Amino acid sequence: MSTSTNQSNSNAGADAVRASLPDGLVYVSGAFRSAADATVSVFDHGLLYGDGVFEGIRAYNGRVFKLERHVERLFDSAKAIRLAIPHTPSELCDIVLESCRRNAIVDGYLRVVVTRGPGDLGVDPRKCPRAELIVIVKPTLSIYAAPSTGIRLVTSTFRRNSIECLSPAIKSLNYLNNVLARIEANDRGADEALMLDMNGFVAEATVDNFFIVTDHALVTPPTATNLKGVTRETILAVAASLGIRTEEKPIALFDAWTTREAFICGTAAEVVPVISIDDRVIGSGAVGAVTGRIVTAYHDLVRSQGTPIHASRPSQELAASFKV
């Protein structure tokens, strides 16, 4: 059977699932349930205190891109906040893949959330005996209106978390300053906000890492001030394979305003060219040559690598744990 036939069959399967369950099947409290029935307790500390961690992952062409790396980062985030995930990393990979299979996903966006779980009013996490794992799968996620022609950024007055407050390496459920920064960008007619670190250097966008292209190299800020983005690290490797020099060093706002090219990157958005920052046009105002090469190389890579959704099955023990 040809690849295209496989794909159209799988897409037909996905269409059938969507027709009967528009928001798909969500994994929560150990079971796959329709989105309408997938509920968490009002006493969940993820809801009450933003006490939890998450990942955004993508599937392309029937494979999950960088699944193991995302799961590793989820466990690192959880470890940092002293949250015990009630599964092994391998079981978590299996639950993600099973979510894709049950939703007939070929291409899609996955959200994995682990909260401290249901407890009581009161911040003490000892009241939460068991973490809650949620896996949501969507066929698409749109973050920016017209990403391919480039987006406009404005610098936010809200700073990215400093390590003294909450390490930006923790992909936690505390996104309020990022949300406020995005509201600010919306209010100012921009597509996205650029968030600075506590020293006034560029940290990242609200849900994406930031790169500039100088005469010498592709430059991105060191991860002390931003999320250790999976796309960011992939792009550093992609650039090296294309023979493009890379540097990780602080970027002053002046250097961002006056750079030849800039882009932001993340799992959901992929690589999105930036055409203006604070009303300073970047380069010619069109997508730059280096950015174009990175966009294409990343696009090709994500569609050609990843963990196959259909090559494995969960262990009997894990499968038996699924309540529905």
Among 46, 139, 147, 229, contact with ligand PXG (rule: CB under 6 A): 229
Among 10, 225, 267, 307, contact with ligand PXG (rule: CB under 6 A): 267
C-alpha angle with apex 53: 196 to 59, nearest 5 degrees? 95
The answer to whether 291 touches 261, Cβ cutoff 8 Å, is yes
- Compose the 143-172 pattern: x for residues touching ligand PXG by CB under 6 A, - for all others: x-----------------------------
CA distance 324 to 312: 20
- Whether 171 is catalytic is yes
Q: Which residue is nearest to ligand PXG (CB)?
A: 56
Q: Residue 20 Cβ, how far from ligand PXG at the closest point, in Å?
A: 26
Site for ligand PXG in 185-204 (CB under 6 A): 204
CA distance 44 to 255: 43
Phi-psi region of 121 (alpha: psi -120 to 50; beta: other; left: phi over 0): beta
DSSP string, 41-104: -TTBHHHHH--EEEEEEEEETTEETTHHHHHHHHHHHHHHTT---SS-HHHHHHHHHHHHHHTT
Binding segment for ligand PXG (CB under 6 A), chosen from 75-83, 122-130, 236-244, 263-271, is: 263-271
Which is catalytic among the residues 171, 228, 249, 323? 171
| Interface with ligand PXG, residue 268, by CB under 6 A | yes
Among 134, 173, 227, 302, contact with ligand PXG (rule: CB under 6 A): 227
C-alpha angle with apex 267: 242 to 246, nearest 5 degrees? 30
CA 218 to chain centroid, in Å, comes to 22
Among 115, 174, 209, 259, contact with ligand PXG (rule: CB under 6 A): 209
Residues that bind ligand PXG (CB under 6 A): 56, 143, 204, 207-209, 226-227, 229-232, 266-268
Please identify every residue annotated as catalytic: 171
